[in-house]
Structure 1
Amino acid sequence: MLVLEYKAKCNQCQKQAINEAIRTTQFVRNKAIRYWMDSPKEAKVNKIALNNYSTALRKEFSFVEALNSMACQSATERAWQAIQKFYDNCKKKVVGKTCTEPVLSVAEGRSRSKGYPRFQKDNRSVEYKTSGWSLHPTKRRITFTDKKGIGELKLLGKWDIHTYPVKLIKRVRIVKRADGFYVQFCVDTEVKQESRIADGEIGLDVGLEYFYSDSNGHHEPNPRFLRKAEKSIKHAQRRIYTKEKGKNQRRKARQRYARKHLKVSRQRNEHAKRVARNVCKANALVAYENLSVKNMVKNHCLAKSINDAAWSTFRQWLEYFAVKFNSFVVAVAPHYTSQKCSNCGAIVKKSLSTRTHKCSCGCELQRDVNAAVNILHFGFAQCKNLAKNREGHSRINATGVGISTLVGEN
Structure 2
Amino acid sequence: MLVLEYKIKAKPQQDKAIDEAITTVQFIRNKAIRYWIDGPKDAKIDRFALNKYSTALRQEFSFVKDLNSMAVQASAERGWQAISRFYDNCKSKKAGKKGYPRFQRDNRSVEYKTSGWKLHPTKRRIAITDKKGIGELKLLGKWDIHQYPVKSIKRVRLVRRADGYYCQFAVDVECLDIQPPTGQEIGLDVGLESFYTDSNGHQEPNPKFLRKAETAIKHSQRAIYKKKKGSSGRRKAVAQYSRKHLRVSRQRTEHAKRLALHVCKSNDLVAYVDAPAACRRLDLRVANMLKNHCLAKSIADASWYQFRQWIEHFAIKFGRLAVAVPPQYTSVECSQCKVIVKKSLSTRTHVCKCGLILQRDWNAAINILLKAKSRGGHPQSHAVGVGTSTLLGASLVEQVLTLNTESHALYRRRSVNRSVLRRLLF
State the TM-score, normalizing by the size of structure 2.
0.86
Cα deviation, residue 88, structure 1: 1.0
Residue pair 2:335, 2:366 contacting (<8 A) in 1 also = yes
The match for 2:179 is 195
* Residue pair 2:326, 2:377 contacting (<8 A) in 1 also: no
Contact 1:126 1:174 in 2 (8 A): yes
Deviation at 1:384, TM superposition (A): 8.8
| Structure 2 counterparts to residues 57-136 of structure 1, below 5 A | 57-98=57-98, 115-136=99-120
Deviations 1:241-260 (A, max 9, x none): 11111110010001000000
- List gaps (5 residues or longer) in structure 2: 276-284, 387-400, 402-426
Indicate the residue corresponding to 1:326 in structure 2: 319
Matched with 1:399 is: 384
CA distance in 1 between partners of 2:82 and 2:42 (Å): 20
The answer to whether the 8 A contact 1:196-1:281 is kept is no
Q: CA deviation at 1:357?
A: 0.7
Residue correspondence of structure 1 range 311-390 to structure 2 within 5 A: 311-383=304-376
Who is 2:418 aligned against?
none
Partner of 1:48: 48
Out of 200, 203, 206, which is 1:222 matched to? 206
Match of 1:171 in 2: 155
* Contact 1:4–1:186 (8 Å) recurs in 2: yes
2:266 to 271, 278, 282: 282
Distance 2:41 2:110 in 1: 31
User: Distance in 2 between the 1:21 and 1:149 partners?
Assistant: 9
Indicate the larger mover: 87-96 or 182-191: 87-96
For residues 238-277 of structure 1, the aligned pairs below 5 Å read: 238-277=222-261
Corresponding residue for residue 33 of structure 1: 33
Q: 2:126 aligns with which of 142, 148, 152?
A: 142
The alpha carbon displacement at 1:400 in A equals 6.3
Distance (Å, rounded) in 2 between the aligned partners of 1:352 and 1:77: 45
Kindly state the Cα deviation for residue 46 of structure 1 after the two structures are TM-superposed: 1.1
Q: CA deviation at 1:89?
A: 1.3
Q: How far does residue 385 in structure 1 lie from its aligned partner after superposition?
A: 10
Find the aligned partners of 2:112 and 2:297 in 1 and give their Cα distance.
36
Letter in structure 2 aligned against 1:199: G
Distance in structure 2 (CA, Å) of the matches to 1:234 and 1:240: 10
Runs of 4+ in 1 over 4 A off after TM superposition: none
**Secondary structure, aligned partner of 1:164:** coil
**Rounded Cα–Cα distance in structure 2 between residues aligned with 1:128 and 1:228:** 38
Residue 42 of structure 2 aligns to a residue whose secondary structure is helix
Choose 186-195 or 335-344, whichever is displaced more: 186-195
> Contact conserved, 1:168 with 1:189, CA < 8 A, in 2?
yes
User: Which residue of the partner structure matches residue 391 of structure 1?
Assistant: none
- Report the Cα offset of residue 199 of structure 1: 2.8
Aligned to 2:299: 306
Contact 1:196 1:282 in 2 (8 A): no
Separation of aligned partners in 1, 2:171 and 2:49 = 28
C-alpha distance in 2 between matches for 1:373 and 1:277: 21
Match of 2:141 among 157, 162, 187: 157
Instruction: Measure, in 2, the Cα distance between the counterparts of 1:213 and 1:312.
Output: 16
Contact (CA 8 Å) 1:196, 1:283: kept in 2 or not? no
Q: Decide whether aligned partners of structure 1 residues 368 and 384 sit closer, same or farther in structure 2, where only a CA change above 3 A counts.
A: closer
SS for the counterpart of 1:53 is helix
Offset at 1:197? 6.6
| 342-351 vs 257-266, greater mean Cα deviation | 342-351
C-alpha separation between the residues in 2 aligned to 1:273 and 1:197? 21
In structure 1, the partner of 2:412 is none
Alpha carbons 1:86, 1:97 under 8 Å: kept: no
Say if 1:359 and 1:118 are closer, same or farther in 2 by CA, change over 3 A.
Answer: same
Measured against aligned partners, the alpha-carbon deviations of 1:21-71 in whole angstroms (never above 9, x if no partner) come to 000000001111111111112210111111111111000000000000000
Shift of 1:116: 1.0
Conserved in 1, the CA contact under 8 Å of 2:253 and 2:306? yes
Distance 1:324 1:241, change over 3 A: same
Q: Which residue of 2 aligns with 1:393?
A: none
Q: Aligned partner of 2:49: which letter? A: A
Question: 1:196/1:227 Cα in 2 relative to 1: closer, same or farther (>3 Å)?
Answer: farther
Amino acid paired to 2:196:
Y
Q: Using CA pairs below 8 Å that are at least 6 residues apart, which structure has the higher relative contact order?
A: 2
1:225, 1:194 → 2: CA distance?
A: 33
Equivalent position SS for 1:35:
helix
Distance 1:272 1:385 in 2: 23
Native 8 Å contact 2:269 2:320 kept in 1: yes
Q: 2: CA distance between counterparts of 1:238 and 1:384?
A: 48
Matched to 1:96, the amino acid is: G
Structure 2 SS opposite 1:123: coil
Give 1:248's aligned amino acid.
Answer: S
How much has 1:279 moved relative to structure 2?
Answer: 0.3
Relative distance call for 1:385 and 1:6 in structure 2 (3 A) is closer
Structure 1 residues 49 and 384: alpha-carbon distance in aligned structure 2, compared to 1, 3 A threshold: closer
Deviation at 1:93, TM superposition (A): 1.4
Residue type of the alignment partner of 1:343: Q
Identity of aligned residues (%): 68
**Shift of residue 349, structure 1, vs aligned partner:** 1.2
Offset at residue 381 of structure 1 (A)? 1.4
